[in-house]
Homo-oligomer: A and B are copies of this chain.
Amino acid sequence: MMYEIAKDPIDIQSVIDKVVQREAGAINTFIGTVRELTKGKKTLYLIYEAYEPMAVKKLEQIGNEIKERWEGAEVAITHRVGKLDITDVAVVIAVSTPHRADSYEANRYAIERIKEIVPIWKKEHWEDGQEWIGNQLETVAYPSGKPEEGDLNE
């Protein structure tokens, strides 16, 4: 399974192993970790929740979009759910491509798309409260289309 929602800690190496190929000279891996400070506010821990079957389908859709755009790419993504502490790994995205530039660009595309279309939510817990996070800026979503170049550089 190249696309997974995991309840247990993610084994990074095993995600990387899924995209190893003889044709690849580059594997770019993005690891999203729980950061302690966001805008000066101290996070104690996070809860991630997913609409699991749909989330897996949407991760797969992202992988297919990447393979269409970047020839020879292989993609594996695992996103964790449940309670995560500071420095815990929330998501691992591994993309292998023949040439290095593509591996960076395709991987970057994946994380931006995850933040747009994959039904996963996080609840931040601080010392003085908690809140479900999501698009507080009321920015545009792209449920079926693809983001424009400019959207990748926010």
Binding site for B on A (CB under 8 A): 12-13, 16, 20-38, 86-87, 96, 98, 100-101, 103-104, 107-108, 111, 153-154
Residue of B nearest to A22 (CB): B36
Identical chains in the assembly: 2
Most-contacted residue by chain B among A26, A29, A31, A34 (CB, 10 A): A31
Q: Give the residues in chain B near A26, CB-CB below 8 Å.
A: 30-33
**Complex formed: what's the CA distance from A27 to B16 in Å?**
14
Once the chains bind, are B101 and A32 in contact (CB under 8 Å)?
no
**Complex formed: what's the CA distance from A37 to B21 in Å?**
11
Once the chains bind, are A22 and B111 in contact (CB under 8 Å)?
no
- A28: contacting residue among B25, B30, B154, CB under 8 A: B30
Give, as a whole number of angstroms, the nearest-CB distance from A108 to chain B.
5
Q: Give the residues in chain B near A103, CB-CB below 8 Å.
A: 30
Once the chains bind, are A32 and B100 in contact (CB under 8 Å)?
yes
